[in-house]
Amino acid sequence: MKSSLIAAVIAASSIATFAGIVAAKDEAAKDALPPGSVSHAEGLEAWKRIEAVVTHPRCANCHVDAKAIPIWTPAGETKPRVHGMNIHGGESRIGAEAIRCSTCHMTSTQANDPAPEPPRAGIDWQLAPVDFIWFGKSGAEICAQLKDPKRNGGRDAVGLLNHLRHDASLSGFIPRGWEPGAGRTTPPGTFEDHVKDMALWGAAGQPCPN
């Protein structure tokens, strides 16, 4: 009973991820810059801006380790704390083993409400895969992870752009990082700035800081 229920929840959550992939690939192809057309130095500059985004609490707080405890940075605060209510994402990363993330974080394309109402997204709320740990990691560590297909979902530089556009096509977590609801801070720049920086970084050969 338990395992079948958990499997059903995970399956239902996965269906949406296949939608819109083709359209996202077309768009990402337009975003991509020719490999080698951007200098190493420009690529590193782009990485600095990417790093400021991916280390922002809005982006890093759900990129946590296998303990699957999401992090909160409540509106008006800067210090991270563990998610209230004894929440564990579990092995499923969507809370299927205990209480689903979507008990409170609705799957919806409607706009986010002001803090402290929980943000929503067009994809079932979930933690990022364990390999994609960002919370508590340095910029150099995140950079190494992001460019490593073994730890980034098997994506090359264009594949990462596909990922951004696909997520956006579903009103997913990435563009919503910049639209989290009134009262919440946002990562620097805009989603489109982030796509451009990822294209620059990719075309420069994905350089990482030492």
Query: Three-state SS across 23-34?
Result: HHHHHHHHHCCC
Query: Minimum CB separation from other proteins for residue 149, in Å?
Result: 34
CB contact set of 197 (below 8 Å; sequence gap of 6+): 46, 47, 49, 50, 53, 189
The torsion region of residue 58 among left (phi > 0), alpha (psi -120 to 50) and beta comes to alpha
Query: Minimum CB separation from other proteins for residue 207, in Å?
Result: 42
Report the residue number, 33 or 99, with the smaller CB distance to other proteins. Answer: 99
Report the residue number, 28 or 101, with the smaller CB distance to other proteins. Answer: 101
Query: Minimum CB separation from other proteins for residue 66, in Å?
Result: 16
Report the residue number, 32 or 98, with the smaller CB distance to other proteins. Answer: 98
Give the alpha-carbon dihedral of 33, 36, 42, 46, to 10 degrees. 50
Report the residue number, 12 or 140, with the smaller CB distance to other proteins. Answer: 12
Residues forming the site for other proteins (CB under 8 A): 1-2, 5-6, 9, 84-88, 97-100, 102-108, 110, 116-118, 120
